[in-house]
C-alpha cells in the first residue's frame, strides 16, 4: 500500500497536486518578451507585481464560492512590444493578486484603490492610483533620469531618491543621470519608494 501511494505522489503532475491542494487558485498567463511595455488596468484590490526571469506575464489570484469573487475576470492582450493586462469585476473586500512580469519591463499601472507593491522590476515606471498604499522597490535608482512622485493628501517617502515628505500636496521632481523615467501618484494615501536590499 505504501509503495502504491509513493507511486501516485511520484508520478502525479505537480500542477494536479497544486490544484488538489489549492482548488481556488486561478492562473492566467501569456507569453511576452523581455524589454516590452506592460500596461496594467486594475480594479480595486491588493496587488503584488513581481519580476521573473521567464518571458511570460502570469496573473494569480484566489477565488472561492462567493458569486461576486467568481466573476473576477483577467484578460491579457499581447502585442509586438506592448501588452495590456485587465483585472476587472473584483470583489469589494479581500481580493489579492500576484502579477509576474519579465524582469526588464516598462510598467504603466492604473489602480482605482487598494494596495500596490512593485518589486525590483527594471525599466520605466508610470504608476497612479486614486486611494491607498503604494510601495515601489527600485533596484537601480541611478538608472532613472526624470523622476517625479506626488500625493494630494498623505505621505511620500522616497528613500531611494533621498526624499521624505508628509501632509498635503507633497511632491518632488528631479532629473537624474539615467535613461529611464519614473512617475508615481496617489491622490489620497501613501507612497513608499525604496532601494532594493
**Domain count across the chain:** 1
Q: Find residue 100's DSSP bridge partners.
A: 50, 58
Q: How confident is the model at residue 187 (pLDDT cuts 50, 70, 90)?
A: very high
Considering the domain boundaries, does residue 180 fall inside one?
Answer: yes
Considering the domain boundaries, does residue 15 fall inside one?
Answer: no
Considering the domain boundaries, does residue 14 fall inside one?
Answer: no
Report pTM.
Answer: 0.85
- Distance between CA atoms of 191 and 150, rounded to whole angstroms? 8
Considering the domain boundaries, does residue 9 fall inside one?
Answer: no
What letters, b where the CB count within 10 A reaches 16 and e where it falls short, cover 107-135?
bbbebebbbbbbeebbbbbbbbbeebbbb
Considering the domain boundaries, does residue 6 fall inside one?
Answer: no
Span 1-22, pLDDT tens digits: 544 443 333 333 444 434 446 6
- What is the per-residue pLDDT for 177? 87
Q: Which domain holds residue 72?
A: 28-195
Amino acid at each position: 500500500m505504501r509503495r502504491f501511494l509513493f507511486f501516485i505522489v511520484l508520478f502525479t503532475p505537480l500542477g494536479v497536486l497544486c490544484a488538489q491542494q489549492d482548488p481556488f487558485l486561478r492562473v492566467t498567463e501569456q507569453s511576452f518578451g523581455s524589454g516590452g511595455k506592460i500596461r496594467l488596468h486594475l480594479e480595486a484590490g491588493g496587488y503584488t507585481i513581481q519580476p521573473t526571469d521567464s518571458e511570460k506575464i502570469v496573473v494569480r489570484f484566489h477565488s472561492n464560492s462567493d458569486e461576486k469573487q467568481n466573476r473576477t475576470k483577467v484578460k491579457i492582450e499581447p502585442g509586438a512590444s506592448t501588452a495590456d493586462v485587465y483585472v476587472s469585476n473584483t470583489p469589494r473586500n479581500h481580493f489579492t493578486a500576484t502579477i509576474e512580469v519579465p524582469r526588464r519591463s516598462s510598467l504603466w499601472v492604473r489602480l482605482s484603490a487598494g494596495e500596490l507593491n512593485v518589486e525590483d522590476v527594471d525599466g520605466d515606471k508610470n504608476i497612479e492610483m486614486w486611494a491607498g498604499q503604494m510601495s515601489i522597490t527600485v533596484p537601480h535608482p541611478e538608472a532613472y533620469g526624470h523622476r517625479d512622485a506626488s500625493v494630494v493628501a498623505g505621505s511620500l517617502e522616497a528613500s531611494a531618491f533621498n526624499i521624505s515628505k508628509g501632509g498635503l500636496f507633497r511632491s518632488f521632481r528631479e532629473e537624474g543621470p539615467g535613461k529611464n523615467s519614473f512617475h508615481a501618484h496617489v491622490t489620497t494615501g501613501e507612497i513608499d519608494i525604496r532601494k532594493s536590499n
